[in-house]
């Protein structure tokens, strides 16, 4: 089924949900167990069709990327050896380079394909640490590429995943857990020296009328600064068998990239969300301010969501980087809200690549956001481009020698230095709702 047809099917389900919601609000209608069953079934159908839309979009992107990879490999085969460096290494070559490094660390000989891959990827197998150079381009483009690599072909036979390079798997894992990296600004630096980021809030100052032959009045601009430091995060230790490290049947890059990346991604996202800023990164919840206090400790209303939206200054409320952020349980609650006219605040995307929206803005799910409970801050809204994540150099992977020799295993540990802060000169670009 085409994406357009799936979108239309989802919209029909959405209309059914609206009808059921109207029945629930109808004082003359007694909500029955059958209505509740229909409501749950319609919500389940909506989620199922939404997943089908995601899978279909990813599959189409995957097909396009496979064609591009095939063209790159063909170019590699046709080029003379002296021109190899002019061609970007393929995913298979990046995997061979990582496997070559692991083999050399174990005292094993490198096959010709490992040697060629290491030369082409610039990997020195003699170095004790493997430097995983992170992505340095547009994160929007990276997310689209990662979604394509995660593409699943639907059907009775089942899906498949395309093996990717270690760094690609690492980036995918870092982006997948929590969502802070998906919407924030990423800064890469070569060293961990403190970065002083100047800021000013001149929004309270205005010009003035000036009479003829009158001296221009003074109005100084007051500056402040925010300091970005660097804190070390580790994946803890990951053990891998010798078979995985040496046999071509195992995709070492996928195994290590996923395991190390997921662990670092989980830890960093928690810090980027709720970090205190004291001896650790400052999370977005810590840097944001309250825009609305809910009347209930366990639920919110449509009016409260709208009040939170309008509590953010228009300069930040209407920007391209302005999004909602909440965990999945909060999303489930918000999807049921209607305004005073009986219209759902949550609107499904009807075009390919267009996400569902809340009050016209996209929603970023972050499972490290708090759930609705007494005194928590479950929903944020604002311009997340002003939330800065600092990455110091690249992820460093170290092999632990001899520690698990009796099990014929090798230990690997990844390290990464990061910091984060919300730039706020007093204009409060991101706000949250506070539960009663």
Q: From first to last of its 436 residues, what are the pLDDT tens digits of the chain?
A: 778 888 888 888 888 888 888 888 787 888 888 888 888 888 888 888 888 887 777 777 766 666 655 554 454 444 444 444 445 667 677 778 888 887 787 777 888 888 888 888 778 888 877 766 555 544 444 444 444 443 333 332 222 222 335 555 666 666 666 689 889 988 888 888 888 877 666 667 788 888 888 888 887 777 677 889 999 999 988 887 777 766 655 566 667 777 788 888 899 999 999 999 999 999 999 999 999 999 999 999 999 999 999 999 998 998 888 999 999 999 999 998 988 888 888 887 655 556 688 988 999 999 999 999 999 999 999 999 999 999 988 888 887 777 777 888 878 888 999 999 999 878 899 999 999 9
- Which range of residues forms the domain containing residue 348? 165-202+224-436
pLDDT, tens digit, 9 for 90 and up, residues 165-197: 555 566 666 666 668 988 998 888 888 888 887
- pLDDT reported for residue 436: 95
Going by C-alpha positions, the residue among 378, 285, 364, 280 that lies closest to residue 321 is 364
Other CB atoms within 10 Å distance of the CB of residue 416: 26
- Would residue 229 count as lying in a domain? yes
Residue with tokens 């995601």: 54
Q: Give the domain CATH number at 362.
A: 3.90.1690
> Which tokens go with 145?
């590429």
- Would residue 146 count as lying in a domain? no
Count of all residues that appear for the chain in the document: 436
What is the number of structural domains in the chain? 1
> What's the CA gap between 284 and 362, in Å, rounded?
18
> What's the CA gap between 346 and 339, in Å, rounded?
10
Going by C-alpha positions, the residue among 196, 338, 157, 174 that lies closest to residue 263 is 174
- Would residue 176 count as lying in a domain? yes
- pLDDT reported for residue 372: 97
- Would residue 309 count as lying in a domain? yes
- Would residue 81 count as lying in a domain? no
- pLDDT reported for residue 293: 97
> What's the CA gap between 83 and 89, in Å, rounded?
12
- pLDDT reported for residue 292: 97
- Would residue 420 count as lying in a domain? yes
Cα angle 363, 58, 47 (rounded to 5 degrees) comes to: 50
- pTM for this prediction: 0.65
- pLDDT reported for residue 86: 47
275 conformational bin, left if phi > 0, alpha if psi -120 to 50, beta if neither: beta
- Would residue 82 count as lying in a domain? no
C-beta of residue 159 within 8 angstroms of C-beta of residue 152: yes
**Beta-ladder partners of 364:** 325
- Would residue 58 count as lying in a domain? no
């Amino acid at each position: 089924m085409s994406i357009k047809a799936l979108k239309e099917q989802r919209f029909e389900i959405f209309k059914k949900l609206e009808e059921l919601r109207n029945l629930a609000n109808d004082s003359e209608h007694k909500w029955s167990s059958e209505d509740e069953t229909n409501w749950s079934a319609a919500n389940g159908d909506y989620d199922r069709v939404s997943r089908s839309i995601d899978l279909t979009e990813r599959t189409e992107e995957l097909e396009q990327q496979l064609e591009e990879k095939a063209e790159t490999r063909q170019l590699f085969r046709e080029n003379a050896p002296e021109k190899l460096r002019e061609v970007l290494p393929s995913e298979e070559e990046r995997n061979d380079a990582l496997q070559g490094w692991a083999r050399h660390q174990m005292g094993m000989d490198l096959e010709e394909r490992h040697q060629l891959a290491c030369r082409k990827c610039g990997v020195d197998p003699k170095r004790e640490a493997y430097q995983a150079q992170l992505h340095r381009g547009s994160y929007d483009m990276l997310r689209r590429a990662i979604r394509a690599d995660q593409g699943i072909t639907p059907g009775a036979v089942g899906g498949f995943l395309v093996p990717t390079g270690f760094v690609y798997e690492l980036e995918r894992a870092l982006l997948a857990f929590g969502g802070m990296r998906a919407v924030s600004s990423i800064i890469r630096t070569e060293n961990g020296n403190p970065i002083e980021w100047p800021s000013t809030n001149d929004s309270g100052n205005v010009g003035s009328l000036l009479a003829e032959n009158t001296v221009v009045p003074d109005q100084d601009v007051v500056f402040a600064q925010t300091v970005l430091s660097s804190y070390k995060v580790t994946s803890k230790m990951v053990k891998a068998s010798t078979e995985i490290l040496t046999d071509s049947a195992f995709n070492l890059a996928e195994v290590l990239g996923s395991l190390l990346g997921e662990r670092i991604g989980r830890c960093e996202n928690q810090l980027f969300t709720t970090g205190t800023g004291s001896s650790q990164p400052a999370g977005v919840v810590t840097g944001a301010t309250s825009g609305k206090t809910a009347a209930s400790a366990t639920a919110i209303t449509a009016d409260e969501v709208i009040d939170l939206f309008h509590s953010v200054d228009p300069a930040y409320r209407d920007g391209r980087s302005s999004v909602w952020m909440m965990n999945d349980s909060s999303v489930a609650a918000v999807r049921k809200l209607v305004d005073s006219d009986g219209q759902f605040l949550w609107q499904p995307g009807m075009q390919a690549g267009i996400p569902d929206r809340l009050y016209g803005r996209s929603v970023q799910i972050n499972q490290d956001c708090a759930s609705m409970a007494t005194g928590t801050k479950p929903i944020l809204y604002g311009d997340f481009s002003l939330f800065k994540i600092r990455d110091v150099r690249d992820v460093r992977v170290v092999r632990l020698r001899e520690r698990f020799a009796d099990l014929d295993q090798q230990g690997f540990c990844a390290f990464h230095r990061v910091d984060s802060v919300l730039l706020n000169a007093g204009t409060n670009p991101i706000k949250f709702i506070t539960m009663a």
